[in-house]
Copies of this chain bind each other. A is one copy, B any other.
């Protein structure tokens, strides 16, 4: 357990050009902060590592402001209330927060959500019952709109978003084809009930995909880009929907790849196949879909129709390396850093 008078935290020290490495971060130890009125002091138990964080490390304009240089890296956390200056929370409460890459954080009580450890393991609030699960749910159902019997293909299918996409597609009566990297992940997808699971590292990947989608692809949930997208695009059906959730194969790109320039061909394919290609961030759908997600996903989790997997790394200092590995497909399931003791386990 972390020393209660010192707070270890990881700052963004430099903006990575390409792959983030330890030199882009500073680990420092500072006094534990003091909560003000209406705030709580939180001890981090789990820190979530997610691909979107790569965007926050860049200065480029995106859907959210970049993390400032010298600031604590942002991130979702599950934490224990240590001290409360708000009547709604009590020391010992477990909450979902956004206190970032640090052992202790202070947050306004209204910015955290109390969790019930009796209902589900607290770490699921960062995964299958949290942002990644909701991303899968909203993007698949609102943009992908799979119909019974249609074929849904999802990339990064062994990740927390992709594994939920495939399972929810099956719950809704569609065929699910999952694409992941390596035989262990493929085996797990088969265990989860994906109709077909494919290894994108196989030299026969494009042919394997062709064989896996005899009726073409109606929904492609895009997490990846790169050669997976290249194989999917020619197999999309007329009126196919493509929720674009992430492009992890490109997050470390430092320059555009060499030509020819295929962007006009992409637009032509969108035209001739009447495709819907739709980028999204889950926050767009919170108001309209989060309540139904919470009740449906909790039910699926308890009846076993929605399963998940966690990849837990111990120690906050491991976060930079674990994050770099995430972008290279090294993690398997939801990547979490155990920053401090989990009192519920």
Interface residues of A (CB under 8 A from B): 55, 61-63, 222, 225-226, 229, 238-239, 244-247, 250, 253, 255-281, 284
Contacts and interface: CB of A to CB of B under 8 A. Distances in A.
B262 A260 contact: no
Contacts of A264: 225-226, 247, 250, 253, 256-257
Given A238-B63, A259-B260, A267-B244, A272 B229 contact: no
9 contacts: A63-B274, A245-B271, A247-B268, A256-B260, A258-B261, A260-B261, A261-B262, A263-B265, A270-B278
Contact of A262 (B263, B271, B277, B278): B263
Given A274-B63, A284-B274, A225 B279 contact: no
A272 B55 contact: yes
B284 A279 contact: no
A280 B272 CA distance: 8
A239 B285 CA distance: 12
A181 to B, nearest CB: 19
A258 B256 contact: no
A225 to B, nearest CB: 6
Contacts of A277: 267, 270, 275-278
A268 B252 CA distance: 12
A221 to B, nearest CB: 13
Contact of A270 (B55, B244, B265): B244
A110 B43 CA distance: 75
A268 B255 contact: no
A146 to B, nearest CB: 18
A276 B280 CA distance: 9
A258 B264 CA distance: 11
Nearest to A60: B272
A282 to B, nearest CB: 11
B276 A281 contact: no
Nearest to A222: B267
A266 B62 CA distance: 14
A59 to B, nearest CB: 13
A305 to B, nearest CB: 29
Given A259-B256, A260-B261, A277-B278, A267 B225 contact: yes
Nearest to A245: B271
A77 to B, nearest CB: 25
A264 to B, nearest CB: 5
A116 B274 CA distance: 33
Contacts of A256: 259-262, 264-265
